[in-house]
Structure formats: C-alpha cells, structure tokens
Amino acid sequence: MGSYELSLVTLAAIYVMLALSLNLITGFCGQISLGHAAFFGAGAYAAALLTKSGWPLAPALVSGAVLAAAFGFVVGLASLRVRHDFLAITTMGVGFLFIGFVRKQQGLGGELGLSGIPDHGLGPWGLAALTVTLAAATAALSLHIRRVWAGQAFAAIADDEDTARALGIDVMRYKLTAFVLGTALAGLAGGLFAHFTRFIIPDAFGFTVSISILAMVIIGGIGSTWGVLAGAVILTLMPELFRFINDYKLLLYGGLLLLVMRFAPGGLAGGIAALTARLRGAT
C-alpha cells in the first residue's frame, strides 16, 4: 500500500468511528443529533492544542475525548429538556454555536485554524493501524452494547420514552450515557483527525460535516452497526476512488439522503435484511 492508500484507510477508519459514535446516540438511543461534528471538532482542537504545547499523543487524544464527552454531557442534559424536532434544532444550534465560537477565538487560530500540529511519530502505517484498531474497537463496543441490558434500555427509549420510563428504566441515566459515550468517541476521532491532517480549520467541523456523518448512519441503516460501518466506508471512499464524483460529493450525499429516506428508511442494512427475508421466503 502506498501512502495515498494508507491515508484513505486512516480517513475511512476515522469516519467509521464518527458514524458509529453518532449511531450510538441516534440509532441506538433514538436521540437525533444534527451537531455531531461539534464534538469531533472539540476533540480535534483539544488534542491539537495539547500536543502543540508538548504533550505526548496518547494523553492528548484521551483528553480530547474527555473534553468532548464533557461537552456531550451538557448537550445530553439538553436532550432531557427537549425532544424530537426540538432536540434536532437544539443540536443543530449547538453545532453552529461551536464553530461560531471557535472562529472568533484567536487562541484557537480563529478563521485560519490551527496549523503546525506536531507529527504523531507513528508513521503512516502506525497511524493507520491505530485508527483501524480504534474503529474496530468502536464497532465491537457497539455490537456488545446491543447485546447487554444497556442496549435494551436504549432501544426502549428510542422506541417510546414514556413507556420506557413507566417500565422503570432510568431514562435520564441512559440518555446521558449514550451522549457521553457517543461524544467521547467522536472526540477521540477528532484527535486522530487533527494529527492525521496536522492542520484544522473551523469549517472542517461545520454543519455540512454533521450532515455527512448523519448521512453515513442513515444510508448505512440507522441502528445497524454493520450497516453504518459499511455506509461510512462507502461514503468516504467513493468520492476518493471515483475522482469525478468529488465535485458532486455533496450532491451525492444529499441525493442519497433524500432517496433513502423517501424509499428505504432502513438504509443499506434494512434493504439487505428485506432482501434476505424475501429470498428465504422464496425458497
């Protein structure tokens, strides 16, 4: 593999982490978020500032994740106040607040962003291996959560919050857990991204990015770990592998969002499940 292919693998792994982390919040727990890129950004800025001030990579990445999780906890508190459409707009607002704030902070580089982020010292193979391992760990965690009590509680809340509460599920605790876990993983992905590109600007964490992450979740199949993983990989690699798409990347994302929601809200995973069910029925 050349360095270009390695960088694609790294990028895809970062997006897999991001999409799976949003899937924890939106897919598993049913809390729609249109501002996920803000947590990605919080982790990226925190980790970059720390390594720039001389910290080693690992504690900087962890601190980025912790900061993003703290931010996610606050937004999770908001999800206790507002639901559904209101939550969608609130999280979108949080996203705009984040980049609006970062843009004006000279300490964060303002519009120009942070450059000269130190070399991670792992080499391209090392970084690719690290991100792929972490992405795989995120996927394993997602699959695990689905099988344990917390996953059942998430599903109950996603399905009908009031019924879940009536059944004695501690809705507040599980919602906050989903937000903290999901945003921590997004923050970790952010730290990796900052050290992968070594240059970050506020717009790399704007609304378009939030929607792209959401597109990966929706197109892959909301709630399905394997579907979301596939969605993230496909949507990251497609514009890279087919250069002519790159100019139409947003058109492709938007068009797919539109078509999937209109014709197949289960996404890729839902489509495959329906197809196998039909094939089984036919035999």
Partner 1 sequence: MLHVELTIQGLINGSMYALMAVGLTLVYGLLRILHVAHAGLYTLGAYIAVLIANATGSLALGAAVAIPVVGLAGMIVYRLLYEPILHRPPYVALIASIGLFIVMEESYRLIFGPYGETFNAPYLAERVSVGPIGAKAAEVAMVAGAIVLLGVLAFLSKRTRFGIAWRATVTDPAMARAFGVDTIAVRYANFFIASALAASAAVLVAVLNNLVEPTMGSVPSYKTLAIIVLGGLGNVAGTLVAALALGVIEAFGTIYIGHLLDRDAIAFLFLVLVLMIRPQGLFAAR
x/- letters, 116..155, toward partner 1 (CB under 8 A)? ----------------------------------------
Distance, in Å, from the CA atom of 216 to the CA atom of 256, rounded to the nearest integer, reads 10
211 lies in the binding site for partner 1 (CB under 8 A)? yes
Angle, CA 149 vertex, CA 144 and CA 150 arms, to 5°: 75
> Could you say whether residue 250 binds partner 1 (CB under 8 A)?
yes
Per rule CB under 8 A, is residue 242 in the interface with partner 1? no
Which residues in the 212-241 window bind partner 1 by CB under 8 A?
214-215, 218
CB-based contact 127:117 (threshold 8 Å): no
Q: In this chain, which of 66, 70, 89, 238 binds partner 1, going by CB under 8 A?
A: 89
Extract the tokens encoding 269. 């995973």
Identify residues 56-85 at the interface with partner 1 (CB under 8 A): 78, 81-82, 84-85
Residue 269 interacts with partner 1 (CB under 8 A): yes or no:
no
Q: Is 243 in the site for partner 1 (CB under 8 A)?
A: no
Going 236 to 242 to 247 to 251, the CA torsion angle's sign is negative
93-122 positions binding partner 1, by CB under 8 A = 93-94, 96-97, 99-101, 103-104
From 2, 59, 23, select the one nearest 10 (Cα to Cα): 2
Could you give the angle at the alpha carbon of 185 between the alpha carbons of 155 and 93, nearest 5°?
A: 80
Q: Pick the binder of partner 1 from 155, 237, 238, 257 (CB under 8 A).
A: 257
Pick from 3, 149, 265, 274: which binds partner 1 (CB under 8 A)?
Answer: 265
Distances (CA, A) of 101 to 5, 106, 114, 145: 35, 10, 15, 34
Q: Is 162 in the site for partner 1 (CB under 8 A)?
A: no
Residue whose structure tokens are 């580089």 = 109
For 214, residues 6+ apart whose C-beta sits below 8 A from its C-beta are: 22, 26, 33, 34, 36, 257
Residue from 158, 189, 214, 262 nearest 34 by CA = 214
Among 55, 199, 207, 226, which residue interacts with partner 1 (rule: CB under 8 A)?
207
Residue 257 CB, shortest distance to partner 1, in Å, is 3
Which residue ranges make up the site for partner 1 (CB under 8 A)? Answer: 32, 78, 81-82, 84-86, 88-90, 92-94, 96-97, 99-101, 103-104, 207, 211, 214-215, 218, 248, 250-251, 253-259, 261-262, 265
